[in-house]
A = this chain, B = another copy of it.
Amino acid sequence: MGDTPRRGPSRRQLLLGGAAVGAGAAATLGAERAGLLPGTGPAADTTGVNGERIVPFHGARQAGVTSTPGAYATYVAFDLLESTDRDGMRAWLSLLSDDAARLTQGRGALADLEPELAVRPAGLTATFGLSREAVHRAGAAAPDWLRPLPAFPKIDALEDRWSGGDVVVLLHGDDPTSISHLLRMLVRDSRSFATVRWRQDGFRRAYGSDPHGTTMRNLFGQVDGTTTPRPEDAGFDAAVWAGPEAPAWLRGGTSLVLRRIAMNLETWDEVGVDGRENAIGRRLSDGAPLTGGTEHDDVDLEATDASGFTVVNPAAHVARARVEDPSSRIVRIGYNYDDPVEAGAVDTQGRPAVSNVGLLFGSWQRDVDAQYVPMQRRLAEADLLNTWTTPIGSGVWAIPPGCEEGGFVGETLFA
C-alpha cells in the first residue's frame, strides 16, 4: 500500500520512446561494466527519475510501514515539555503532519524559505509513533504493551541517550537532502511543545546500486531481511495491523520496537567464514540456508548430518528467531549505522575503539507482548550472534493509523 514501484520506466517514458534494459541483465553479461561504457549524454538520462518519486502521505495507514524502505533513515525522538497538554498535543501533531504531508509530496512547508530543497522527495516518508506518556497527554488509553521492553540482563547495555522518547518520527527516503530538510521543519515546529531527545541515522544500499529486489547486507556482511514478511504474504495483515483488541484510536495502526544494536567488528574479524555462517544458519556469500537451496528458501531446522546432528546449530540466530505461525511474526526493518567513534571510546580489549557501527533494528507488530517479547527472550537466552552484538538503545511506540487530506496522524486520539 501507499507505495509505487520505484523502478522501471514510467508510462510516459515508454510512450516517449523505448525502455532501458535491465541493469541485472547488463551486469550479468560480464566484464564490460554497464556504467563504464560511454553514454549518450543527457538525452538518455534517467537519473532524475527517482527524485520525483512520491509516496502518498494520506491514506488509511501510515505509508512508511509498508513502503519499500529508502536508502536512508533518520529517526528522531522528542520529549514532551511539561506544558504540553491535550490541546498542545493536538496542535503539535497537526503541525507535524502538515510538514510531512507537504514535504513528502515535493512541496515546501508552510513559510518554507527553501522550498527548492523540497521539490524532489525521492520517496520520502514520515512515520509517527507515540509512547504511553504521549497517549496519556492526549487524554486517551494506551494498550498494555505500550511501555519499555522488559530488561534482558544477559545482553542489554542500554543507554538512556538512545532509548525512549515520547514521540518518535521515522524518516525514510532515497535522498539525504530531502530528509534533512523535513527533519529541520519538524524540529523547528516542535520548539513550543517538545525537545529532541535523540537522533539516529542509518543507511542501506543507495538507490541505483543494486539490481531490483536485492536484499540489503548489514555491516557483518550478512544478507539481512530475506525472510521478513511482505504485505502480499499470507498472515501479514494479522501480524501487523491493530484490530478490535486495540483501543479504537489505534485500529489500523501498529507498533514499533526500535533497538540500537552495536556490532563488534573487531571480534567479528577474528571469526572465520564457517563460524560466521554457523552463528546465523545461512551462507554469507548469498544468504542461502546452510541446509541448501537459494536465498529465498527456508532454513531446514530439522535436517541432520551424517553423525545425526542438526546441520543448523540450535543456537543459531535463525533457529532461535524462527516463528512458524505467519500471523505471529514480526516485520523487520533494519538500517546500518556507522557513526564516528566517540571521544574516549575503547574496544573490548581496552584499546582505542576503531569503529562505532551497528544496526538500527526496527520491527512492526500488532502486539509487542505477544510477538516481539517472546522472540527477544529466546534470542537473549541463547543466540550465537550475541557474542558480537550488544543492544545499546531501545524503545516502543504505538503507530497510529494514517489520515486523509485535511486530517493529521494522531487525530483519532481526540475523536
Contacts and interface: CB of A to CB of B under 8 A. Distances in A.
A47 B211 contact: yes
B206 A176 contact: yes
Nearest to A116: B221
Contacts of A159: none
B5 A39 contact: yes
A19 B272 CA distance: 44
A284 interface: yes
A7 B320 CA distance: 45
Contact of A54 (B33, B161, B203, B273): B33
Interface stretch (A183-191, A243-251, A322-330): A183-191
A12 interface: yes
Nearest to A276: B113
Contacts of A212: 41-42, 45, 47-48
Given A26-B13, A211-B45, A177 B203 contact: yes
A176 B218 CA distance: 12
A45 B22 contact: yes
Given A174-B208, A208-B51, A219 B40 contact: no
How extensive is the interface on chain A, given as a class?
A: 35 or more
Contacts of A272: 113
Interface stretch (A82-90, A127-135, A350-358, A399-407): A350-358
Interface string A128-144: 00000000000000000
Contact of A8 (B14, B39, B54, B181): B39
A174 to B, nearest CB: 5
A35 interface: yes
Contact of A174 (B18, B19, B29, B209): B209
- Which residue of A13, A45, A219 has the most chain B CB atoms within 10 A of its CB atom? A45
A18 B16 contact: no
Contact of A11 (B37, B114, B199, B205): B37
A180 B315 CA distance: 30
Nearest to A198: B340
A230 to B, nearest CB: 15
A10 B26 contact: yes
Contacts of A209: 47-48, 50-51, 120, 122, 174-175, 177-178, 207
Interface in A35-69: 35-54
Contacts of A35: 4, 6, 10, 49-54, 123
Contact of A37 (B10, B117, B354): B10
A54 to B, nearest CB: 6
Nearest to A351: B191
A51 B20 contact: no
A223 to B, nearest CB: 8
A186 B53 CA distance: 36
The 10 closest A-B pairs by CB, nearest first: A8-B39, A114-B221, A23-B48, A18-B18, A35-B53, A51-B209, A48-B211, A50-B208, A20-B20, A10-B37
27 contacts: A4-B38, A6-B47, A7-B45, A7-B47, A9-B40, A12-B32, A12-B34, A14-B40, A18-B20, A19-B43, A22-B44, A33-B52, A33-B106, A34-B49, A35-B49, A48-B209, A48-B210, A48-B211, A51-B209, A72-B206, A114-B284, A117-B219, A120-B209, A174-B209, A196-B354, A198-B340, A199-B341
Interface of A: 4-14, 16-27, 29, 32-54, 71-72, 106, 113-114, 116-117, 120, 122-123, 161, 174-178, 180-181, 183-184, 187-188, 191, 195-196, 198-201, 203-214, 217, 219-221, 265, 268-269, 272-273, 276, 284-285, 336, 338, 340-341, 343, 352, 354-355, 357
